[in-house]
């Protein structure tokens, strides 16, 4: 999760909402792929950190199914990312800060609770939640005030 926080900071430094993601093979301890938010710079509304990491992991493994891997992300995934996580068959999702407005795992549509999903990961929220939430608060505070304290 600390690596995901570093990626979130890099996203913030690039003017993107600070969200970072890391996909790990827990059996070997290997980082398979990473991602950071890039919708603004990439002119791509789907370029969320999770999607970036999933795309990179699929390319790295040569398989669109990422069964058994763990996704660490600094913010509870949105509906789009939760759907991609399910389609990729990621085995476990760990996130930092909850997202009551845009989250779709324990908030909103609670996507992984839907009976029509083909794959449901094990979920764990709240890992380094304070650091993840503070990163987001600092980013948006700086945007509101025109300062850069993030």
DSSP for 15-83? TS---EEEEEETTTTEEEEEEE--HHHHT-TT--HHHHHHHHHHHHHT-S--BT-EEEEEE---HHHHH
Whether 118 has a binding-site annotation, put simply, is: no
Count how many Cα atoms sit within 13 Å of the Cα of residue 106 in the half-sphere of its side chain. 15
CA distance linking residue 89 with residue 80, whole number of Å: 14
Q: Beta strands 20-25 and 30-36: pairing type?
A: antiparallel
Q: Specify whether the backbone of 117 is left (phi greater than 0), alpha (psi in -120 to 50) or beta.
A: beta
From the candidates 50, 76, 124, 134, give the one annotated as an active-site residue.
Answer: 50
User: Do the annotations mark residue 43 as ligand-binding?
Assistant: no
Known catalytic residue: 50? yes
Question: Is 107 annotated as a binding-site member?
Answer: no
Binding-site residue ranges for Zn(2+)? 48, 78, 81
Residues annotated within the binding site are 48, 78, 81
Q: Which residues are catalytic?
A: 50
């Amino acid at each position: 999760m600390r690596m995901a926080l570093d990626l979130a900071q890099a996203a913030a430094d690039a003017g993107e909402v600070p969200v970072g993601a890391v996909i790990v093979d827990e059996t070997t301890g290997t980082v398979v792929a990473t991602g950071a938010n890039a919708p603004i710079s990439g002119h791509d509304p789907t370029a969320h950190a999770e999607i970036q990491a999933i795309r990179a992991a699929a390319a790295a493994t040569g398989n669109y199914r990422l069964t058994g891997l763990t996704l660490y992300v600094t913010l509870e995934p949105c509906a789009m990312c939760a759907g991609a996580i399910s389609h990729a068959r990621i085995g476990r999702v760990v996130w930092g800060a909850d997202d009551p407005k845009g989250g779709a795992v324990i908030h909103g549509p609670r996507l992984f609770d839907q009976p029509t999903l083909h794959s449901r990961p094990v979920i764990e929220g709240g890992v380094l939640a304070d650091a993840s939430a503070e990163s987001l608060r600092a980013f948006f505070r700086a945007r509101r005030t025109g300062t850069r304290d993030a």
